[in-house]
């Protein structure tokens, strides 16, 4: 296949590119190396790809439709759209930028797909769209979405834009709601990465709330397997599918698991709960199993060991 991956220099995207190149596919990556975190991290993510004969990197911002048309040849079998401004808390501080990238940029990619006759479009959505919905585990057919951050709202908007393009233009649109992805190359601002560095250095780590909030942590290897299955999915033209780990873990339990993986004790700096944070996430994976054959394989203890092994190579 000839695959266009947006955000392919990022955490999840670079792992997907690894997989696609290993399978013999031709991959074009669009990435603007946004400064939300050090662009050198993303440069390192793609360093191993740059000399591959089936890899091409296009430095472009998905908000710039003209740049996309100029830099891309359009000869793609499908698009995997991972590029986005990420983060719940930063979106509260700058909601307009999140709207422009996550909604406007997605609109540009959908238009590009329509113009070029690209039939398959896989979209990275987020568990944050469920918000404070108390009915867990969360199911895709639950109409009670209650997003509580601008970031979450932009992901809902992206899913709805996909429905419009599927209905009007026959595009197959598969939205994957990712649940708290972790693993090697994880963004440095995310909890597991940040906590691991702070525990190892002996610095206090920010501990928000009473420790009872829980997350459905999902190893990046499982996420990539789910994306890969969605790329081949063809049974219907529009689907929303959860990709999670199906093992919610409280904040207290996470810190204890990190202490075990690092063989060090954490120093906690307690803070109130943060605006925009949800009390729990938990994916119902019934649909993912039925449509994609998806079943998470990596348990948290092994996944954290995998992450710490990678982290040891970074310092």
Angle at 128 between CA 10 and CA 196, to 5 degrees: 55
Nearest to 97 by CA among 47, 32, 39, 46: 32
CA 56, CA 39: separation in Å to the nearest integer? 18
Q: What does each of the 315 residues of the chain score in pLDDT, given as a tens digit?
A: 999 999 999 999 999 999 999 999 999 999 999 988 899 999 999 999 999 999 999 999 999 999 999 999 878 999 999 999 998 889 999 999 999 999 999 999 999 999 999 999 999 999 999 998 888 999 999 887 899 999 999 999 999 999 999 999 999 999 999 999 999 999 999 999 999 999 999 999 888 889 999 999 999 999 999 999 999 999 999 999 999 998 899 999 999 999 999 999 999 988 888 777 778 999 999 999 999 999 999 999 999 999 999 999 986
Which helix (H) or strand (E) segment is 280 a member of?
Answer: none
Q: What is the CATH number of domain 2-182+218-244+282-297?
A: 3.40.50.720
Mark whether 151 is an active-site residue. Answer: yes
CA 8, CA 46: separation in Å to the nearest integer? 8
What are the sequence ranges of the domains in the chain?
2-182+218-244+282-297
Q: Environment class of residue 141 by beta-carbon count within 10 Å: exposed (0-12), middle (13-18) or buried (19+)?
A: exposed
CA 214, CA 206: separation in Å to the nearest integer? 16
Catalytic residue, from 76, 130, 151, 217: name it: 151
Q: Is the pTM of this model over 0.75?
A: yes
Backbone angles phi, psi at 75, to 5 degrees: -85, 70
Q: Where are the alpha helices (DSSP H) in the chain?
A: 11-22, 39-47, 65-71, 88-93, 95-98, 105-116, 150-169, 191-201, 220-232, 251-262, 286-292, 300-311
């Amino acid at each position: 296949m000839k695959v266009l991956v947006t955000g392919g220099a990022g955490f999840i995207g670079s792992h997907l590119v690894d997989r696609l190149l290993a399978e013999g596919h031709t991959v074009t990556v669009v990435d603007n190396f946004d400064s939300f975190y050090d662009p050198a991290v993303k440069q390192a993510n793609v360093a191993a790809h740059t000399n591959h004969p089936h890899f091409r990197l296009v430095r472009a911002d998905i908000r710039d439709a003209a740049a996309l048309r100029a830099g891309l040849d359009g000869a793609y079998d499908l698009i995997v759209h991972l590029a986005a401004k990420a983060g719940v808390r930063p979106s509260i501080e700058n909601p307009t930028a999140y709207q422009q990238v996550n909604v406007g940029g997605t609109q540009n990619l959908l238009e590009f797909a329509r113009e070029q006759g690209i039939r398959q479009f896989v979209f990275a959505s987020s568990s944050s769209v469920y918000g404070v919905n108390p009915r867990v585990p969360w199911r895709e057919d639950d109409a009670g979405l209650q997003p509580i951050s601008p970031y979450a709202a932009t992901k809902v908007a992206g899913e709805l834009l996909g429905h419009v393009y599927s209905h009007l233009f026959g595009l197959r649109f598969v939205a994957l709601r990712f649940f708290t992805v972790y693993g090697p190359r994880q963004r440095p601002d995310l909890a597991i990465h940040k906590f691991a560095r702070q525990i190892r250095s002996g610095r206090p780590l920010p501990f928000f709330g009473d420790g009872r909030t829980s997350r459905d942590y999902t190893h990046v290897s499982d996420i990539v397997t789910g994306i890969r299955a969605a790329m081949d999915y063809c049974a219907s033209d529009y689907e929303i599918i959860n990709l999670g780990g199906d093992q919610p873990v409280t904040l207290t339990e996470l810190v204890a698991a990190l202490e075990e993986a690092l063989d060090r004790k954490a120093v906690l700096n307690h803070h109130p709960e943060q605006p925009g944070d949800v009390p729990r996430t938990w994916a119902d994976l019934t649909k993912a199993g039925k449509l994609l054959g998806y079943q998470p394989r990596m348990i948290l203890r092994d996944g954290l060991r995998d992450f710490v092994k990678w982290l040891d190579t970074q310092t």
